[in-house]
Amino acid sequence: DAKTTQPTSMDCAEGRAANLPCNHSTISGNEYVYWYRQIHSQGPQYIIHGLKNNETNEMASLIITEDRKSSTLILPHATLRDTAVYYCIVRSFHGSSNTGKLIFGQGTTLQVKP
C-alpha cells in the first residue's frame, strides 16, 4: 500500500473551512484514498473515499489532484465537534497480497477553536 504523509497537527477557527492535506506520491492506479477520523477515545469513523474524481458527501469533500499524488479533505464549516485525529489511508484492492489490509498512519490532529 502507498505510504501517506500528513501534517501532525492543524488548527482551524470554528465556522471556517478546514483543509487537511495528504501526500501519497507512490499511489498506483488501482489504489483508493480513504479518510477516517477518531474523536477522543471513540472508534474511528469513516468520512469519505475516492479513486480519481473529487467526491462530496454530507460530511466532507475530497479533492484528489490530477496526478493523484496528493489529496485534500475539506470540512466546509468546521465545528468544535470536528476536533479529532484525521487519518488518510491509501490502499489497493483485490488481486494483491494486501487484500483486506487497511493500515492507519499517525494522522493529523485537528483542533477547531472558538
Partner 1 sequence: NAGVTQTPKFQVLKTGQSMTLQCAQDMNHEYMSWYRQDPGMGLRLIHYSVGAGITDQGEVPNGYNVSRSTTEDFPLRLLSAAPSQTSVYFCASSPGTPDNEKLFFGSGTQLSVL
Stretch that binds partner 1, among 9-17, 42-50, 62-70, 72-80 (CB under 8 A): 42-50
Mention every residue, 6+ apart, whose C-beta is less than 8 A from residue 58.
Answer: none
Return the number of the residue (40 or 81) whose C-beta is nearest partner 1.
40
Q: Least distance from C-beta 58 to partner 1, angstroms?
A: 14
With residue 78 as reference, give the H or E element that holds it.
Answer: none
The residue among 12, 10, 11 whose CA lies nearest residue 77 is: 12
- One residue of 16, 26, 39, 46 binding partner 1 per CB under 8 A: 46
Binding letters toward partner 1, positions 51-90, x by CB under 8 A: x---------------------------------x-x---
Helix, strand or coil for residue 80? helix
Q: Which three cell numbers stand for residue 55?
A: 467526491
Asked if 35 is part of the footprint of partner 1 (rule: CB under 8 A), the reply reads no
**Contact assessment for residue 87 and residue 102, using Cβ atoms and an 8 Å cutoff:** no
**Contact assessment for residue 34 and residue 90, using Cβ atoms and an 8 Å cutoff:** yes
Binding site for partner 1 (CB under 8 A): 32, 34, 36, 38, 41-46, 49, 51, 85, 87, 91, 93-94, 99-107
